[in-house]
Amino acid sequence: MSPVSRTLVLAGCTLELTTKRTPTRPVIAGNWKMNGDAAAIAGARRLAVQLAASPPRARVALCPPTSLIHRLAQAVAGTPLLVGGQDCRAEAQGAFTGDESAEMLLDAGARMVILGHSERRTLHGEDDALVAAKVLGALRAGLEPIICVGETLDQRRTGRAIEVVRAQIRVSLPPELKGNAFCVAYEPVWAIGSGLIPTLDDIETIHGVIRADLLDMFGAAGAEVAILYGGSVKPSNAAQILGGREVGGVLVGGASLDSETFMEIIAAA
């Protein structure tokens, strides 16, 4: 499809948005959060075997709690299913009780890591500068970061969604990302686990703004970055969301816990 541009004018700044391109394979990533057990690992193994038999168009990852990374990685070894972490500390090692470095996640079998998830930002007080430091840790270890941004309900209601997301992008994504594989996930905080989702138009607008910032920050390489949508993605809405302009995948919480449900979302990509 040849790109067709449309212009978006925002607070004195004009952005050229292009229609949906598929610069990279879509990414379907599951975030188990603090859930997962032997049954979930067995389900993931069945899913991985299915993906191996019939390779999907998308790159598919599951991000279990840290304690399950090694088991999951062993269960899906040799299949296309990637394993990711949900967070890491910025430093490589040291006196940081209870924390895990990106190198440790890699050693356990992770290849990706979610950083700056709103639950980390809210429950652990993580700010954009800390997220950027963690991104550098992930790059140092060779993990592909999935960097999350998104506005709260109050910020959306008061018309600040674009401004908030752009500010998060500017600080959470360090310049060192240039030339490295990474994803951005737009996850409106109010859509996570709530069953509510923005309109497709709102998703496309924010994704277009993120794309424009990525191009500005990383040049042509910014066109290759998959911008994922996350927040109440289900089999019933996945195809529509994935068909959106500049939507390069989805980050799935609750619906990734059941392997059959997650497979339906993968099939929609």
Comparison of 33 and 245: residue with beta carbon closer to ligand PGA = 33
Q: How far is the CB of 105 from ligand PGA (least distance, A)?
A: 17
Instruction: Using the minimum distance from each CB to ligand PGA, give the nearer residue, 137 or 231.
Output: 231
List of residues 6+ apart from 267 with CB closer than 8 A: 56
Neighbours of 93 (CB within 10 A): 10
For ligand PGA, which is the closer residue by CB, 94 or 125? 125
Catalytic residue among 187, 204, 207, 246: 187
The Cα 161–Cα 177 span in angstroms is 24
Q: Is 69 in the site for ligand PGA (CB under 6 A)?
A: no
Give whichever of 135 and 255 is closer to ligand PGA, judged by the CB atom: 255
Helix, strand, coil percentages (3-state) for the chain, rounded to 5, are 45, 20, 35
Whether 117 sits among the annotated catalytic residues: the reply is yes
CB of 244 to ligand PGA, least distance (A): 16
Q: Whose CB is nearest to ligand PGA?
A: 253
Q: Between residue 12 and residue 41, which ones bind ligand PGA under the rule CB under 6 A?
A: 31
Stretch that binds ligand PGA, among 102-110, 216-224, 239-247, 252-260 (CB under 6 A): 252-260
Closest to ligand PGA by CB, 18 vs 33, is 33
CA-to-CA dists, residue 87 to 33, 66, 93, 108, angstroms: 10, 9, 15, 14
C-alpha to C-alpha distance for 5 and 93, rounded to whole angstroms: 46
- At its nearest, how many Å lie between ligand PGA and the CB of residue 195? 8
Dist CA 203 CA 224 (whole Å): 19
**Contact (Cβ atoms closer than 8 angstroms) between residue 200 and residue 218:** no
**Comparison of 116 and 208: residue with beta carbon closer to ligand PGA:** 116
Binding residues for ligand PGA, rule CB under 6 A, total: 13
- Say how far apart CA 205 and CA 220 lie, in whole Å: 20
Q: In the window 212-251, what residues touch ligand PGA (CB under 6 A)?
A: 230-233, 251
Residue of 85, 137, 222, 253 that binds ligand PGA (CB under 6 A): 253
The sign of the CA dihedral 94, 85, 204, 55 is positive
Pairing of strands 249-252, 82-85: unpaired
How large is the angle between the packed helices 66-75 and 38-53, nearest 10 degrees? 40
Supply the minimum distance, in Å, between the C-beta of residue 254 and ligand PGA. Answer: 4
Residue list 162-201, contact with ligand PGA (CB under 6 A): 187, 192-193
Sequence-distant (6+) residues with CB within 8 A of 136 are 90, 174, 176
**Which residues make beta-bridge pairs with 184?**
147, 227
Catalytic residue among 117, 119, 151, 204: 117
Pattern of binders to ligand PGA over 121-160, x per CB under 6 A?
----------------------------------------
Residues with a catalytic annotation lie at 117, 187
Which residues here bind ligand PGA, judged by CB under 6 A?
31, 187, 192-193, 230-233, 251-255
